[in-house]
A and B are shown apart, each in its own frame.
Chain A
Amino acid sequence: MLDTDLLTKAVGDLDEDSVIKQLQEFAATNPSPEEAQKAVAACQSGMGIVGELFEQGEYFVGDLIFAGELLTNAVEILKPYLGGATSEKIGTIVLGTVAGDLHDIGKNIFKSMAEAAGFEVHDLGIDQPPGNFVEKVKEVKPEIVGMSGVLTLALESMKLTVDALRDAGLRDSIKVIIGGNPVTKEACEQIGADAFTTNAAEGVKICQGWVK
C-alpha cells in the first residue's frame, strides 16, 4: 500500500531514489486508475512543497528544474496505470516565450508547477509571435495567458502580444501574467499585463487566485 504522505515528502525533499523506489513498488501492485491518480496527486502535492521551499529561499531555480524532471519521471512510471482517470482541472493557461527570445527554463518551470497545481497548460514554445498567442487563445479559450522572457527585448514583444490580443477583441476575457528576469512593475504597466512575477511559484499562486 502506498504511503502518500511519504511520497509527497520524498518529492518535496527532491529525494529521487526514494520517489522512484516507492513508485516502482507501488506499480508492482498493479494499482487501479483511481489509486494511480492518488499517487499522481501525492507527487503534485510534493511539487507544492518544492514551490513553498523556493519561496522561503530554501530552494533555488536549479532545484525547481530538477523537481520538474523528477515529477515528469514519476508520472511516467504511473502512466500505464492511469487509464482514463484524470485530475480535476482548475483552469486553462496558454503559455509561451515571446518573439525574439529563445529562453525556456523559466517557462518550463512555471509550466510544471502550474500543471501540478491543476492547470491545463497549452505551451506554445519559445520565440512565439503575437499571432500564435492570439490563435491559441481563440482555439482553447483560456482564463489566463502567460508570457515569458529573459531578454529585455522580450518586454517589447510582450507589449506587442498584449496589443494583438486587444486588437483581436480577446483581452477583456483573459488575465495576462508576464514572467522572467526583466519584468518589473513599470514594465507590467506599460505592457498592459495584469500581473508580473520573477518567481514561478508566486506566478502559480497569482493564477490560482484568478480562477478561484
Chain B
Amino acid sequence: MTTAEELRAERMKLMDDVINNREPERVPIVSSCSTWAYYYKGYKPIDGIRSNEVVKEVSRAIYTDFYWDIIDIGPVVAFHPDIFAVAGGGTFTFTEEGLHQTNPGAIMVMEPEEYPELIKDPYEFLLTKILPRRYKLFAPEKSFQEKYDGIRKILEIQERMAEKTRIHDEIAEGEFGLFNTVGGLLIAPVDFILDYLRDFRGIMQDIKRRPEMVREAGMALVRYSLDSVAGVESSPGKSVLIPMHIPTFLNPRDFEKVYWPSFKVLIDALVEKGLNVKCAFERKYEHLFDYLQELPKNKIVAVVEDDDIRLFKKKLGHIMAIQGGISTQALYYSSKQECLDIVKGLIDDLAPGGGFAFSTNKSMISATDGNPENLRAVNEFVREYAVYK
C-alpha cells in the first residue's frame, strides 16, 4: 500500500512537471475548495473559525469524498473578525456566516498628494501615516502599553488561526498525501495601492491624472512585496501565489504605463531567487497577452479564470503552465453530463504536451460555487481519463 508520504512525493512530481511544462504521468487535480467545504458539510465558515473540530471534520470530508492531488487553497478561513475588532479598523466587513468582503470606500486612506512620500520611503510612510489611519490601535493618542497589549492580543488570535492551518495541512498532507503547492503569497505593488491605500475610484483617477506617480510608487513597493515572501525558499512543485487584481480593468496603455514596470521587476526578482510564481489572472487578460509573453519561461503557473483557456494555452502555453478548467457556475448550474462533456473537451484540448493542471476556474467559496455530485464526477473523470500514455 502506498503511504501518504509516497503519495505526496508522487504528487509533488506531478506539479513539478507541470510547472516545468513537461508531461506528468497524469493531469493533476488541484483543489481551490475553500469555504464551500463548510456548506457541503452543513456548516458555515464561522463554525470553522470557532471550532478546530469542525476544521478537522470538514477537511477530512472533502478529501475523502472528492478526489484531489494538489492543494491551492484549503477550507481554512484566513481572517478572524476579532483581529480587526482589536486593531480598531481594517478594510473588511464580515457576514454572520464568517465570510468577508471589502466595504466600498473602506480602503481609501491615502491622499493623491501623498504619492511622493510613499515613493520616498514606503515603510516609513506605511508605518507612520497609514497604520494610524487604518487602525485605531495605532492612533497617536494610544499609549505604548495599549498598543503593546493590542498587538499581543492580535498575535494570539493569529496563532489560533495558524493552528487551524496546521491542523488542515496535517490532515491533507499527513493523512491524504496531498501536495500543498502554495509556498507563499504576495500582492503585486500596484495592486497593493488599490487594495490597501487608494481603492478603485482613487487609483483610477491617479492612473489618469498622475500615471508616473503610480508607476514610481509601484517600483518603490517592489521591496515591500518581496519582503512578504522573504523566508520562502525554492522547492520543487511549489510556487508563490500572486492574486492579480487591477490589470483586468486597465486598458493596455495604462497597464504598460503603471502596472507592468514594477510587476516585471517583481517577477524577475522572484525567479532570480529560484522561486516559481503562480499568477492568478483574475477575470480576463486577453488584452494583455503581448506583455505576458515577456515573462520568464517555465517558472510561471497561470491560473486562468474567465479567459478562453484554450486561447490562453495557445498564446502563452510555451512560456507558462496553465491551471484551470471548469467554471464554478457550470459546476453549480449544469447537469452532471454537461459538466463531464465540458471537462472531456478541456482535457482533450489542453492536456497534450503537458504543462496543464486541472482545477475550477475560481476558488469555491460559497454554497453556490458547485454542486457536490458534479464536482465528484468531474474529479473522478479527470483522474481516470487524463492519463498520459
Contact = CB atoms under 8 A, between A and B. Distances in A.
Nearest to A58: B251
A146 to B, nearest CB: 17
B249 to A, nearest CB: 4
A156 B103 contact: no
Contact of B104 (A59, A102, A153): A102
Contacts of B103: 102
Contacts of B328: 152
Contacts of A156: 367-368
A100 B93 CA distance: 11
Contact of A16 (B209, B249, B287): B209
Contacts of A155: 368
- Chain B interface: which size bin? 20 to 34
Contact of B201 (A58, A61, A65, A184): A65
B287 A102 contact: no
Contacts, number: 73
Given A100-B95, A155-B368, A62 B254 contact: yes
- Give the interface SS of chain B, mostly helix, strand, loop or mixed: helix
A194 to B, nearest CB: 18
Given A16-B208, A60-B250, A60-B287, A153 B329 contact: no
Given A59-B251, A102-B104, A66 B208 contact: yes
B79 interface: no
Interface residues of A, number: 30
Interface in B168-211: 200-201, 204-205, 207-209
Contact of B93 (A57, A62, A102): A102
Nearest to A105: B200
A187 B366 CA distance: 15
A181 interface: yes
B251 to A, nearest CB: 5
B246 interface: yes
A120 interface: no
B104 A187 contact: no
17 contacts: A59-B251, A60-B287, A62-B207, A62-B249, A65-B249, A69-B204, A101-B101, A103-B104, A105-B200, A152-B329, A152-B368, A155-B368, A156-B367, A156-B368, A181-B283, A184-B329, A187-B333
Interface of A: 14, 16, 57-63, 65-66, 69, 100-105, 126, 151-153, 155-156, 181-182, 184, 186-187, 190
